A and B are shown apart, each in its own frame.
Chain A
């Protein structure tokens, strides 16, 4: 068990390094492959009026002319000890952990990320809770009443949930519940500014439900399929043969096995969402990481985009690690062997 744990943690760390390296390479290599020279890159960091020589000087100072691995090394170092950006007129200090420095807004990326993470985390956690409960619940009911009218209607709704995009369901729900009925908050407020949890939830309820609808639909289908499979397993028949109540058979014996694969997918989804629920945050104008990424992309502010990508990667790796460890808790065959 200990070896398993250590191996997973080491694996996660190695994976993180690979992910940062690949992400970094993409962000710094792709423009070059597209024909942009180091000078073209540097031109973004100096004023529009700067001359060719000035630009080149900046490019050298910022290290754009260095080989890729040197740049990556500097970046990783910056993550731990911070980094100085000397772009000519002045030197900007980016304290550790330095996720890059945006010359457009003239500030390090990290504080922005820290600022926006709670919004995204609130959104993701709330939505995850809702979709897990409703999705898995719906899946169980559907599986147990397989072929009934209830099953078919639930699965139709689920199909709709999977197929309808968030900007459609989001806008529709906004126009009905927020602008029409006035039950929920309108978009654009920062739930983290709310004075108490009630207001926080009030601000987030619509984005939660909208986001959860999409995922709940997928989870309902997954749970249903998983339950249909496990309820036909021999050990479920054994549980019945022991005289357990149907409720105990379903919850203790059926569901426990059916949920294991869902755990894996849940970890991935949650990790991905923590990197920013782009569509939801944009639709509801929530100041989270997803919205931040979109704004940065529009402004061509590469350091910010890189920062968000790395945060997302970090959460995905972390979520995967947690899932792996949870797996060992749930399934003794993983633990002992």
Chain B
């Protein structure tokens, strides 16, 4: 597929990483939204949407951010694509610090980092034809295509399973699944390296959802795409991810490869989350080994101190209210931020407790994984 001249899209002087190398790394990422109140609209507090994230994304993998509403996963996605500017912390893409790049300096990078949105209705301009929508990135980035934009767009449409004849149609003529395909075609136009997909299938019907999930997987293997998937549906996440980061109130509480996260979750929140998902299997109904969390997620304006999960955790003890557990590696590739991890060997428990005692002050700045 050579629809677009995509060679050397990177920043000059930057060596492009190969598969398995680090594409994106995030260090101590923080985003607080100020709250203003009272007569003078003084800042009285902040929504601590994202509060100290450290992780990296290797080329070719799918990293999923999961969590419930208010955990900061969407904000993280917007920070990674720099639709938002972080309050502090660093976002490094292909060796270049993009944390505070201006709109103008971000522009060349927008080719490499693209976003897919949840709402296939809201993100397409109803007055533009499909051709114009999918071809827009070429115009914006002044990219010349070999056989003209129209040909390139038609190839993209075919690639995502639409017909080239759809070029002159309008978004309202399409079903939800097809609209999401249009959105994906637009995203692919410039052959991005990283795609941040915010709930890409959650607005779709089950049967259509599967089509789009398969499409995303096919495209990934065909173009060596790297995905950061933001989702709340843990079943979909289990299917698409290589690694999963579980977020709770602006923090990553557990980060592990798919297999070990789903089979041996260590953070109690992950355990509860997995156990809450209804399973389409009536035999499981009889089992009453469920963990039911009480109450709701606390407000990110005033999150609980230390371990933010301690207010709902059945294992919580005094230490959880005073010392924040650092996100430490308890098994190869499996990091968890808990004083009393589940599914852990005695050695792993000791590691967790030692890490907390060792340096509670620096627990906010864990080394990158």
Contacts and interface: CB of A to CB of B under 8 A. Distances in A.
A217 B39 CA distance: 39
Interface string A2-33: 01001100100000000000000000000000
Interface string A85-106: 0000000000000000000000
Contacts of A7: 39
A45 B208 CA distance: 82
B34 to A, nearest CB: 16
Secondary structure dominating the interface of B: loop
Nearest to A10: B39
Contacts of B38: 3
Interface in B26-44: 37-39
B1 to A, nearest CB: 46
6 contacts: A3-B37, A3-B38, A3-B39, A6-B39, A7-B39, A10-B39
A40 to B, nearest CB: 46
A7 B40 CA distance: 9
A57 to B, nearest CB: 49
Contacts of A3: 37-39
A10 B39 CA distance: 9
Nearest to B41: A7
A3 B39 CA distance: 6
Contacts of A10: 39
B36 to A, nearest CB: 12
B-side interface size class = under 10
A32 B185 CA distance: 61
Contacts of B37: 3
A114 to B, nearest CB: 35
Interface of B: 37-39
The 6 closest A-B pairs by CB, nearest first: A3-B38, A7-B39, A3-B39, A6-B39, A10-B39, A3-B37
A10 B38 CA distance: 13
Contacts of B39: 3, 6-7, 10
A220 B37 CA distance: 38
A182 to B, nearest CB: 59
A7 B39 CA distance: 6
Interface string A247-261: 000000000000000
A6 B39 CA distance: 7
A10 B41 CA distance: 13
Contacts of A6: 39
A7 B42 CA distance: 13
A6 B37 CA distance: 13
A7 B38 CA distance: 8
B41 to A, nearest CB: 9
B38 to A, nearest CB: 5
A3 B42 CA distance: 12
A10 B37 CA distance: 16
A239 B172 CA distance: 32
A10 B40 CA distance: 11
A314 to B, nearest CB: 23
B6 to A, nearest CB: 47
A288 B39 CA distance: 39
A204 B39 CA distance: 44
B322 to A, nearest CB: 33
Interface in A255-269: none
A3 B37 CA distance: 9
A3 B38 CA distance: 6
Nearest to A337: B37
A7 to B, nearest CB: 6
Nearest to B37: A3
B138 to A, nearest CB: 40
A7 B37 CA distance: 11
Interface string A146-160: 000000000000000
Interface in A263-295: none
Nearest to A2: B39
A3 B40 CA distance: 10
A6 B38 CA distance: 10
A52 to B, nearest CB: 54
A2 to B, nearest CB: 10
A240 B59 CA distance: 55
A41 B143 CA distance: 64
Interface string A130-169: 0000000000000000000000000000000000000000
B47 to A, nearest CB: 14
A117 B142 CA distance: 65
A239 to B, nearest CB: 26
A152 B37 CA distance: 48
Nearest to A6: B39
A236 B303 CA distance: 36
A6 B41 CA distance: 13
Nearest to A7: B39
A252 B37 CA distance: 33
A98 B38 CA distance: 36
A336 to B, nearest CB: 13
B71 to A, nearest CB: 23
A117 B38 CA distance: 37
Nearest to B38: A3
A176 to B, nearest CB: 49
A4 to B, nearest CB: 10
Nearest to B40: A7
A65 to B, nearest CB: 40
A86 to B, nearest CB: 43
A243 to B, nearest CB: 30
A179 to B, nearest CB: 55
A225 to B, nearest CB: 21
B43 to A, nearest CB: 15
A209 B39 CA distance: 43
A238 B322 CA distance: 45
A298 B123 CA distance: 56
